[in-house]
Structure formats: structure tokens, C-alpha cells
Amino acid sequence: MTALIQIEDLHYRPDATDQAAPEILRGIDLSIEAGSLVAIIGENGSGKTTLLKHVNGLLVPTKGRVVIDGLDTRQNENLPRLRTIVGMVYQNPADQIVASTVAEDIAFGLENINLPSAEIQKRVEEQLRTVGMFEAAERPPHLLSGGQIQKVALAGVLARQPRVILFDEPTSMLDSLARQTFLQTVRKLRQNGMTIVYITHHMEETISADQIVAMHFGRIILSGTPTEVFAQREKLREAGLEIPGVTRIADEFHALGWKIPVPVLETQILKNALPFYYGKNSATQPLKKTYGIESSRSLIEFQNVHYTYLSGSPLAQQALNGVDLTISEASVHGLAGANGSGKSTLLQHINGILRPDLGHVRVGNFLLDDPRTALRDVVQRAGLVFQNPETQFFETFVGDEIAYGPKQFAMQDIKERVRHAMEMVGLGFDAFKDRRLETLSGGERRKVALASTLVLDQDILLFDEPTAGMDPRARAELMALFRALQKKRKTLIIASHRLEEIAEIADELSIMQSGKVTHTGSCSQVITNAVALSNASLSPPLAVDIARTLIAQQWPIDIEKSYTPGLLMSSIKDCLHE
């Protein structure tokens, strides 16, 4: 069978005339059959996005060739036809939003291919309903959350009905329910015969793929089915990759002597294999222990805070609707909630970018609802890493960008500050200081944004989806950095859709829903509150899901002491040693 996508000896360097420039792709050979789902994994900067841009003809090989359904991408006359065959949802989906309302943006691509108005209207409505954005049809895209923009970008591509869709980390900004819905949509598209190539840093999203392609330094180092690729654990580790979380937990259970199939790639298979507990303390009620979080001085307070974007206009959209919240000094506080629940808006009230329409916000001694409070003074105390790092860049080169803030505040020893901040986030000073920002991968840009905030050494650090676009190694390094900042008694507030990550680091957790904080408490209490998570359209961490299954199997474990993989294993071992 002839492959729909055929890539042969693909090499690419950004400037083909500069032979000293390093190659981003170094001899890629890849065949993709029609109707297949291919997942591409690899560290930040490994060449994944560059490879996708060759498939839709945005880039042309320096050497080798790319052929899509018989069309050679090097021939300009093939590009119009190629663009009708291949659609792409970009790593930063805001880059492909061009119109002033959501509905107009989806219609834009259809108008360009001269579809009748009635057909355009039908497709726009159909795809907005598919991605759950029909109610936002008349909203301006720039007022949407990152996850909502991803949904709009997907709807715009699906409306054109391409044969091939390329996804560049499409779930990085989606809440857990939207993520599950999206993955179901991808599987359905594949079942309907569409060819899908999908970049992700989250290994659990690759399980249903027909083929996984692992990249490292511009080369394909592994290719095969999920079972074949995840069996190569040492090779994955060397490339900064990992096996799925459920597989890691299954391995630990297998080491206990449990009859767990190897390998396990799906959660339900693992849950079906969990043993019944026959120990002496078997009980329907788990053992409980008394514990709590250490109380400390209130640093941040919200009292009945309301905020509406474009207030007083026909496009007014309420983002905060009576927020009450207290955050302790020197704590790590997690914020969780569905797309559009108000997390980003809340963070921007803490460092003064936004001021409340109604209510009171106090940060330390600053009253942010008082117009006399100077933003410059607040920013010196509280730093924010935005959801989309590009929105906070001012300069052209990495080193200059990280030095920008210290220069504004006339700090001393700027070069050493920049060097230290870059090392903290895993960016080598000599290797990256003179790199142009537009040449970086999405994960590398996020590291620059982190360094640009850390260089100011603020007491309060706000992170909006900080691990989005980061590979497994970079995520682990960031979690280690958070712990180091915690030891320095920094106050960290982390908004994330990934409850597994919040569980590993947060002392306290708040859940947001429809512009309100619905639950706040210790992380252990809130993250194991099934009703609170379900009402907020959030899924529990994997460890909590497995702990509940074990409790149903009579294991006397305390779920509030078992909400991370490490804590879960400790609880199980305590039961086995009783």
C-alpha cells in the first residue's frame, strides 16, 4: 500500500545558505498510511514542530523530500492543493486566529475556498457545537482562555474537512474534561478515515496511536506501536522521555508480587487486576489519621471580588463573580478549574494587571482595589508567568529578554542575575543567551518566561499553566525548582489543569467554577473530594482513582494520604506490614 505521507531523508536547517547553521532535522525517514493515528514525542527542541511544518508545506527540505498524496512539497504549484488536504492546529493556536469573533474566524477559511453561505453557516455551527464553543460564537477571540482558543482553532480546521490533521500539543491548555472529549474526537476522526499526526509531551495521550515516533536531536530514535516503544525504557530515558504514569504504577505493583499484566498502558486494565485485601484490618472504612497543614500569616486576600471584561458593552463577559479567597504566606497554593473558570483573571488581580470592578484585593500591605496603589510597586513584590509566554516578551534575544526586568528596576550585577536565572530553568547561559526568541521551541520559550520572572527575585510568584508545552524532563526539573523556591519561603500560586502536578507540590488547593472559588482547603482534602472535582469538570489524579478502587477492594487506606503515586505506595506498604 502506498503511504499517504512519505518522508525520505529529510534534512532541514533554517538558512540553507549558511552551512555552519545546525540542522534541526537530520535524515528523517517516515511513512504514514491513510487513516492512521501517529503520535510524535520528544524533548523540547528535538524537531517535532519543524517536522509537522514540512508536512503542511510551511517549510521546504534543505535535502530530501516530503510527498503528501503524490504532491511534492518542494513544488510551489502543489501548495494550494496541499493546503486543502492538510490542516494544522498550531502549538500556539492564537497564531491562527484572524477574525474579530469566534464564528467569523471559523468562517474565514471556508470563505477562502468559496463555499456557499448556507454551507459555511452550517459548518460553523456544527463545529462550534462539536468543540463546546457554540455559546461563545460572537465573543472576541482575544477574550477567551488559552483552552478555549485551542477549541476554536480545532473547530476552524475541522470545518474545512481536510484529509490530514496535524496537531501540535493540542491539549496543553485544556482542562481534564475537555481533554478527554478532545481525545475522543481524535479517535472518532481516525475511525472515520482521517489521518492524524499528533505531537504531545504526555505519554498517556499516545496509547491509542497506531504508531509512536520518538525524536531526539532531529532524528527518529524509536518508531513502533505503543507497546513496542514503551518497552524501550532505557532509550526513552536517555532521550528525556518517560513511560505513561499508569505503567509506572503498574510496575511498582508488579514488584510487590501482585499479578499485574506487563506492560499495562490503560488505567481500566490495571484497576481490573487489583487484588482484594485479606489482611487483619480489612474494613469498608479506611483507617483515618489526624493531620493538617501548618497555619501561617495571611498574605493575599480576596473579598467578594467581581470583574467583567468589556464591562458596559454588548460583549461584556463576567470573569470573576464574587471571589473570596485567602492565601497563606510562604505556601504553595494550587488553582484548578475548567477552561474559562477565572483562574488567569484571578492571577492577574494578584499582581495588579487587573483591578476589581467590585470588592477588595490585598497583597501584603498593598490594597489593589485602591487606584492610588502603584502597579510598579506591586510588580516588584509579585511576578506572573503568563499562560502564553510570548505575551510577555519585549526583546529579540534570550539574554536581553531576561535582563529586561532587572534593567527597569536598575538592579545591580544584571549579567550574573541573568546567568543564575537561566541555570535555574535549565537554559545554558552560553548556549541560549544570543538565541533569537522566535527560533525557540514552545517549551524553551516557557523556560525563558520563567527565567524572566525568577531573575527579579520576587516574594510572590504566580504561574499560569507553567508546564504547558514542556517535555517530561523539563517538567520534572520545574517541579524540583518549585520545591527549591518553597524552601526559600517564596509564596507560589500555580494555576494548572494537571492535578497530578498540583498534587506533587501544593500545600493548599482552590477549585474555581464560573468565576467563583467553590472549594479551598488542604491539597489532600480538596483533591480527593470527588463531588467538588466532578462539579468543576475535573478528573481526579490517577493515584486517587486507583486508591478508590483499592478501598472498594477492602484495602484500609486513607485516601487523603494516598493522592500521589509515592503516597499511595506508602499506604499500601503500611497495610502489607501490619
Divide the 578 residues of the chain into consecutive groups of 10 and give the mean pLDDT of each group.
89 77 92 96 93 95 96 94 90 82 90 88 90 88 81 88 91 82 86 93 93 97 96 94 95 93 92 90 46 63 96 89 96 94 95 95 95 91 86 90 93 94 93 91 87 93 90 90 93 93 96 96 97 93 97 95 96 89
Q: What is the DSSP string of 22-62?
A: PPSEEEEEEEE-TT-EEEEEE-TTSSHHHHHHHHTTSS--S
> Among candidates 542, 553, 544, which has minimal Cα distance to 524?
544
Residue 293's pLDDT is 42
CB 167 within 8 A of CB 198: yes
Q: How many C-beta atoms surround the C-beta of residue 21 within 10 A?
A: 12
Phi, psi of 514 (to 5 degrees): 50, 45
Rounded Cα gap, residues 491 and 328, in angstroms: 8
Topology annotation, domain 328-356+379-542 = Rossmann fold (3.40.50)
- Measured in degrees and rounded to the nearest 5, phi and psi for residue 302 equal -115, 130
Superfamily for the 5-231 domain? P-loop containing nucleotide triphosphate hydrolases (3.40.50.300)
Q: Taking the model in full, what pTM does it have? A: 0.86
CATH 3.40.50.300, the chain: domain bounds: 5-231, 328-356+379-542
CB-neighbour burial class of residue 495 (10 A; exposed 0-12, middle 13-18, buried 19+): buried
Other beta carbons within 10 Å of 264: 22
pLDDT of residue 16: 61
Cα gap 61→462, rounded to integer Å: 41
Handedness of CA 254, 257, 260, 261 (dihedral sign): positive
Range 66-73, long-range pairs (CB < 8 A, 24+ positions): 66/5, 66/6, 66/7, 66/8, 66/10, 67/5, 67/6, 67/7, 67/8, 68/4, 68/5, 68/6, 68/164, 69/4, 69/163
Strand order in the sheet with 508-513: 382-385, 460-464, 491-495, 332-337, 508-513, 516-522
Please, which residues have CB within 8 angstroms of residue 274's CB and are 6 or more apart in sequence?
A: 253, 258, 546, 549, 550, 553
Distance CA 503, CA 509 (A): 9
8 Å CB contact between 231 and 199: no
